[in-house]
Amino acid sequence: MKTTATLTGTVAMLLLAAPAFAVNTAKVYKSGPLVLIFLGFFALLIIMQMIPAITTLFAMVKGLMSEKTKTAAAVAETEK
């Protein structure tokens, strides 16, 4: 009985103390426009490097699909 009361009291105190550990979110983002331009430049670099990678990926997939079509056509032709 005493153990249950102690455990309940401990849990209640921890639950009541939880808001004390919360982070203060009253601080507002106040960086200047140069920081945003700097970050935007690096985002642009990443996007510009992804364009050739995506086109290469589509070309590889297109090549694989056309190879399957050629192989199927060759098999059909040899069966005649």
C-alpha count within 13 angstroms, C-beta hemisphere, residue 79: 6
| Locus of tokens 């970050």 | 39
User: How far is it, in rounded angstroms, from Cα 1 to Cα 55?
Assistant: 71
> Is the model's pLDDT at 70 over the cut of 80?
no
**In this predicted structure, what is the pLDDT of residue 21?**
60
For the chain, what are the domain ranges? 31-80
The rounded percent of the chain whose pLDDT value lies above 70 is 74
pLDDT in tens, 39-66: 999 999 999 999 999 999 999 999 888 8
Kindly tell me if the per-residue pLDDT of 16 is higher than 80. Answer: no
Q: Report the pLDDT value the prediction gives residue 10, as an integer from 0 to 100.
A: 83
| Dihedral of the alpha carbons of 76, 58, 55, 59, in degrees to the nearest 10 | -20
- pLDDT value of residue 45: 96
